Structure 1
Amino acid sequence: MSDVQPLNKKQLIEVLSQTKTATAIHIGEEALIQMANQAMLTIWGKDQSVIGKTLEDALPELKGQPFAQMFKKVWLEGITISGAETAADLEIDGEIKTFYFDFEYRAIKDEFNQTICILHTATDVTDRVSNRKLMEEFFNKEIALEREQALNEELAASNEELNAVNEELAQSQEELLTLNETLERRVEARVKELSASETRYRIISDELAAINEEMTASNEELALAHEHLKETFDELEDKEIALRLAIEAANFGTWHMHSESRELVTSARLRELFGFDAAHEITIEQALGQITEQYRAYVAEKIENALHGNGDYDVSYAVIGFNDKKIRWLRAVGNLKADKSGEFSSFTGVVMDISLIKKDEQRKNDFIAMVSHELKTPLTSLNGYIQVLQRKAIVFQDNFVNSSLEMAAKQVKKMTGMINGFLNVSRLESGKIVLNLSYFSLTDLIGTVVEESRLMETSHTIDFQSCEHTPVYADYDKISNVIVNLLSNAVKYAPIAKNIEVTCTIINQRVQVSVKDHGIGISAKDIGKLFDRYYRVESDNQVSGFGIGLYLSAEIIARHNGTIWVESEFGDGATFYFNLPLHNGNVKS
């Protein structure tokens, strides 16, 4: 049996104060505030001066709302009341605002079954409610897609009618050659028919121009919907862990470790998370023993860094239960605090089950892949219709229609590239991207990409300084995508300065490629995050996109044992670099 003493009241309050979950302790029918951690004070918009006040004295705006009556009922009946996404009006910075919370009022009883206090936990889910509304708005955009398909069907009908007119013209010409005896009468009739056909053609052209305008508007709405979807994913990713911590607040496991003796004191919940019996005390070695081999050394290193470094500790890993052999994903958060004696430090923290979060991440990746795949089908059809219209428009030499169709084709190509980017992110995170390695000359590949870019980006001048003998063993298409992305970014972020310089050099048995523009540049605070997934640089010169191109490029280069980086000063252009190892074998065509 361990001689470790249970937590006293002061220690318990200190643990509750350290948790990121908004927590408070109340007593009495009027919910007198005994303790509130910083997370709860932030929700209330108050400071420590509210301690010792009743709930309605501390937050007068709650009068007339049901929360005081809930506290009274919990105190008198010794029960637990909880709610999800419950609206509450709070005064923040002198203004009454409506927030939404997941909350719980739990009666804590003594051995005589008498209520001694109320444990109050809350989670601000206002962003989650807002995000759900954004998702509803996104699905409403599907109506716009259906409208677009109806327009496409109408366009197809117009094409059939135009084909019918062309067939009539051909038949009339044959009749004019063979029926000379009725030449005058037939010519007169044909003139009338041609006049009517010309009028019908003008009407169809006008309708086609209107349809093109509506297609452009639909594309813009679709881009806006993707932007909203990207922002939603970013917010969900940033807040997933915090939300799960709040929901599972009552199931945290806690630990205390002596920095010198390494004696480990754990709660029953922590032992259950590692698959041990709740009453079975464990050592740090036993706990590490249940962590899977993939993460065991990593977690041990993080613990040592926390004990001998800055004291911060936040790590996620998988464990196999000692008894139940069940695989769980856990997240541990803790820090190091020096003892008052100065002789040792106490390493304390909490452990929570994040298995559901891991499943949610997989579902999120599956959802991105599903949505991206579904969006490709109508875009493919739309691209086909545009190509048909371009061939038809060439016959009639209508410059306006040709120009409009060319712009529409570029927008469809741009949207297809964005969707392919989402699919690549999903495949990358699911481990489904496979490198198709082959031998080729990187210089030849760069030259090909530069020539294609010169044809597509006629507004800029691209200068390529090549180097000789650059054999590599890599995925030709994926390295090509990296170069295309860097060139595309150079064009987008340098709208005024038209010169782009591409170079290739060999340094220490590695081939180094650079793409330099003279555009708006990148600030120092953004450079460190530039290759993060969905990260966008915020500026007055905002450029369309979802922030996945550089992320995918970095992952592709990393999987080729290469390095990618950027050098820039804000307002003075940017130079992107990447390198790949040279291959000593012969280049195969």
Structure 2
Amino acid sequence: MSKKMIKKKSQYQRESVRKRKITPRAIVGIGASAGGLEAVTELLENLPEKTGMGFVYVQHLDPQHKSMLTPILARVAHMSVTEAKQGTRVEADHLYVIPPGKNMFIEGGVLRLVTRVGGEGRLVSIDTFFRSLAADQNNRSVGIILSGNASDGVLGLEAIKGEGGITFAQDERSAKHSSMPHSAKESGAADHVLVPADIAKELVRISRHPYVSSVRKASVESAMSVDEKEQGSLQKIFTMLRTRTGVDFSQYKPPTLRRRILRRMVLQKIEELPEYIAYLQRTPAEVDALFQDLLLSVTQFFRDREAFEYLKRNLFPALVKGRAKDEPIRIWSAGCSTGEETYSVAISLVEFLEGIKKNIPFQIFGSDLSEINVGKARAGIYPTSIASDVSPERLRRFFKKMNGHYQISKSIRNMCVFAKHDLLRDPPFSLIDLITCRNVLIYLEPTAQKRILPLFHYALKPSGFLMLGKSEGVGEYTDLYQAKHKTHKIYNKKVSSRRPHFRLPSDDADVKPYNAHTEENVEESSQDTQSNFSIDGELSKDIDRILLSSGFAPPSVVIDESLQVVQFRGDLTPYLNFPAGRATWHLLKMAREEIIMELRGAIIDAKKKERTILRSDVELVENGQTGKVNIEVIPINRRNKRERHFLIVFRRGESLASKEEETDENARGAKKPAARQVEKLERELRITKEHLRTALEEEEAAREEFQSVNEEIVSSNEELQSTNEELETAKEELQSTNEELVTVNEELQTRNTELSQINNDLNNVLSSANVPIIIVDRQLCIRRLTPIAEKSLRIIPSDIGRSITDIKLPIRFPNLQDLLLDVIENVQPRHEEVEDEEGRWYTLWVRPYKTWDNKIDGAVITLIDINDIKVLQQRNENFMSMASHELNTPVTTIKTLVQILQKRFEESEDKMLVEYLTRMDQQINQLTRLVADLLDVSKIKNDKFELDEKTFDFDTLAMEIVNDCRLLSPQHTIVVKGKTDAKIKGDRNSISRVFVNLLVNAIKYSPEAHKIIVTLSKTPKEVCVTVQDYGIGIAKTHQSKIFERLFQVGNEGGKNFSGLGIGLYISAAIVAQHQGRLWVESKKGKGSTFSFTLPIQKVKK
């Protein structure tokens, strides 16, 4: 070897050693938010310098400020701490800290940074990194959630756990902010819930476990591989799982199962497989935990968004094309896990149908092997971190936020049915338009996949589609499926000319359907059928009659058409043999060899000619001597009997040997033995020819008959095959229908339980509510009420179901029926004050009764006792009235005295004194107006406000008021537009107060604006005044309350505006008493426009 090659090899070995030193055994992702610094500090203080693992810390950081997190952690950590940079490779015993304003990913052990876009909403930096960590490192990933707000990290932990990694959450009691750890714990995504110091100890232990101690993936697989002894141990685990759960995991791929088993061993602090088996045997709960671990899968909403867009753009249009309006779309989401995939399909389909403005019903069946997953899917509750997968618009439309979680809306939930279902054991659903089964087949052995794919083909309609995961396909079943989109793995069903070869999983035996293309070798038994020796009396009498008619009973035998002997008569030993071995009753197999040819020919002729056939002088050798025998075949014809029988009679002839001795050798006509032999041979040849001819004829007839029979058999076989297929289809459909019924029944039971719980809650709430509440339907019939309503309104239980308008109530309800119908029709709550027979006051609230889908199904009546408030209000009114009267006298006296002083000192040189007296007079005028307003409020409230009606010129009054107000605020320009030329009959002073109040308010609430517009207009029946300012405006929420008594706008735009809130109240009352209208139009920050109208005709009090 050259020096150059030796040097290169040495360099390669050093590089390999260096890589082994820096490659971490596992990568630990640490996520935290508020309060996380204290927790991660405690964690790092308890971690040794050498663990062989790499660490990445992700925290929510302010992108506007430079982070000091890295130097802070470097002071407490026993390992190297650096801020993560683009392209940094994660090394063992190093901690990498995320920089501010970045999201971080990991690919091939290398960190990738992406700038976080402002306005992304919720921070999901932890979920983002944890998900990429799970996808990159699989079972060599570890996730830790520490103190923080919201629920970031939950989805990431689920992804790590789904790939076989280990997960931790900080104990809530030790966290400053427990929201993130609490969410991780509640979701079930955390394997351990510990304080940071104990998490550090557990990390050290895990780093030494075989599950993560190997560096290279090949080494990990080697560590996980098993010999024959360990294979037997795994079979014991599978047996325990099958016994407890009914699921056979021998159909799943071994590497996945081994990783999951080793993961459970890590969590239970067990390193040897036999020890873990013993632990399983004594801990049934661990068998359940292992079962759930084996079924863990990584899922999320709208996973692979392009695939869902393809569904909406291409697949859903194909499903609705040509579909009847009432024909529902049926979708099966197989292996739905916790429901995210199922709900994603439902949401996409709803959006599509809304887009094409069609109301086609649909139902989605979600099935999974895990009962726990099915329960979570049915609940439809997910962490807030799904906001990273679901758009804000979809969250608003299809989810309801409650208690820190998102719950799927009832409208979507009602379209989905969830059930536990084993694809390898339970019958499939039927008549499905679309099956989604993503990332399920990859965990199964090829034999299991070959069982499932034909089942999916059966479940789909002829125009149905199958959607698989990106790493999955239909394999050899290209005759069943045609690829529609190769990237998204979407296939459409091929309608095959013959049914696919499969059996339903629920069948107990392997029953193969008939296949016309498959020839089966059927081995028939060689055992002959035993003849039936029973013979009826009529046949016996016929035989006896035939034999006796000849005067004696020679040896004979009775046979049927198949030459089977049915009766022996006489001594047949000279003519028949009974061979050793298996018994046979076929005549020709028992006949002596010399007579077989003649006997066969006679029987054939008797069958054909249907008359007695005689064969004479048939030679027969017996005891060394040649004799003769006559064979007579007699057909037995019987009435009403289809089966024919034949009587074979044997009559002995003369012995040839004795005849030769008695006859003279020279006798005339004597024959030589040679001539007799020739005659015998000729006779046998003739018989053979006849037999051959007959055999050929029979063969031809038999061939034609066989052909006809064969055609009938083939036709019958095709009919039987068709009938069998129909029966199988009917059976499969019944099984599928039964499965759906079981699923629907489970769903109904769950809903019944929920309804029972809700009903119990409602009953308890109504019983505990100390307020009269009555619920009526759209026909105003009482549906439900609280116990206190029964007592206070004197309603008895038998009144439930009666119309509330038919019951005499102790409270005087003004137009109750009209009020209820108005609320139901207009969907707007109404309230009024009502009084009972004893003089107690209540506030009557009527609100629409809304169902979950916002339909109005009645009204809710609530009575709130306000008697104490009314008493206090009356006392207040009385006090204000009395105070106003009491104040009026001294104020009048003070004003008189001031006027006297003003007159006395009007020519005084003391200007200051004159000014003070003027100001005093102004304040007394303001106080006088205030007292007058309070008196008017009291009069209005007690319906004692009176008008002093006179006819006056409206334009003159308007100009007087405008000129006075111009003097009040010189900096404001008051512009008057239009005129009325109208005479008004009314209280001139009261109308003046309204006009003044509106102008004074316009001046007061527009301190920075300098223009006010007064518009005068007239219609045939009324005059209208509009006062427009450009001031602060009035918020929309305040506009409905602006004319209420004592309502004040308050501090608007940072300004403090004084006032009692009674000016507009009095103005509204004055205008109303003049049978006019007063209203406001305003926009905050843009100014207000107040308008009022007065009738031109005579005003009635």
TM-score normalised by the chain length of structure 1 = 0.49
TM-score by length of 2: 0.28
Q: Which one has more relative contact order, counting CA pairs under 8 Å at least 6 apart?
A: 1
Q: Which has the larger radius of gyration?
A: 2
Give the number of the structure whose residues are more often helix, by fraction. Answer: 1
